């Protein structure tokens, strides 16, 4: 990602309170709760690839996960650390880019992405995917949520076929769902939710 793009996210978090941002819901994402409550994702070492204000990693830590969480905005990470301190949970927060993950190989059981991938420039998509693949343990789980083409034509609005083409060389796709979501600005947007497992073919 360019430094211009990096600075843009930090400017947003410096200018606005998290609760005023559409993607900051103030509660963990429904589907994440379902994955944990169902036992499909069991406590282990987890990575949030773009944590924002920290709501999702805080939820995971409360559920017994050992969590690392990164964001490219130092202001977002500062806020997330404050929220974690208030509820007395320990999380390894880092200011970093998901294109250069600062972790050793095969470190995590579970990685999740609520809104990172659809901001990755086209030329960097494979780098992103390979990075997630690298840090996951064998048979590790990756959960992705990204913009759907139903929101209108755009370079970062995906079809099901595009998602499969991008990821299936690296992951076994368990399921892919097309879902509406009422975001924090009371606007319904459409997303693909994708649950996948690290493949052994690479």
CA separation for the pair 114, 145 (Å, rounded):
5
- Give the model's pLDDT for residue 145: 92
State residue 180 phi and psi, 5-degree precision.
-85, 150
Which residues sit opposite 45 in a β-bridge? 66
- Among 24-28, 68-72, 173-177, whose mean pLDDT is lowest? 24-28
86-132 confidence digits (pLDDT tens): 899 999 999 988 899 999 999 999 999 988 898 888 999 999 999 99
Domain boundaries in the chain? 3-198
Please state the pTM of the whole predicted model. Answer: 0.87
Who has greater pLDDT, 73 or 69? 69
Write the CATH number of the domain with boundaries 3-198.
3.40.50.150
CA separation for the pair 153, 156 (Å, rounded):
8
- Give the model's pLDDT for residue 5: 44
- Among 47-56, 164-173, 177-186, 193-202, whose mean pLDDT is lowest? 177-186
Who has greater pLDDT, 153 or 78? 78
Spatial CB neighbours of 120, under 8 Å, sequence gap ≥ 6: 1, 98, 99, 128, 156
């Amino acid at each position: 990602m360019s430094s211009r793009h990096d600075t843009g996210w930090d400017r947003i978090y410096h200018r606005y309170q998290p609760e005023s941002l559409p993607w900051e819901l103030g509660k963990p994402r429904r589907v994440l709760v379902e994955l944990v409550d169902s036992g499909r994702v069991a406590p282990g070492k987890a990575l949030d690839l773009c944590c924002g204000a920290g709501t999702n990693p805080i939820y995971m830590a409360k559920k017994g996960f050992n969590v690392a969480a990164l964001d490219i905005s130092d202001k977002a990470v500062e806020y997330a650390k404050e929220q974690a301190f208030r509820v007395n949970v320990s999380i390894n927060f880092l200011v970093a880019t998901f294109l250069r993950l600062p972790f050793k190989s095969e470190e995590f059981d579970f990685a999740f992405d609520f809104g990172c991938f659809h901001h990755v420039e086209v030329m960097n998509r494979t780098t992103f995917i390979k990075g997630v693949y690298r840090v996951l343990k064998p048979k590790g789980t990756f959960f992705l949520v990204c913009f759907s083409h139903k929101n209108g034509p755009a370079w970062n609005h995906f079809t099901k076929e595009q998602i499969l083409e991008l990821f299936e060389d690296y992951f076994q796709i368990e399921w892919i769902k097309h879902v509406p979501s009422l975001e924090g600005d009371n606007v319904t947007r459409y997303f693909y939710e994708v649950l996948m497992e690290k493949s052994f073919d690479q």
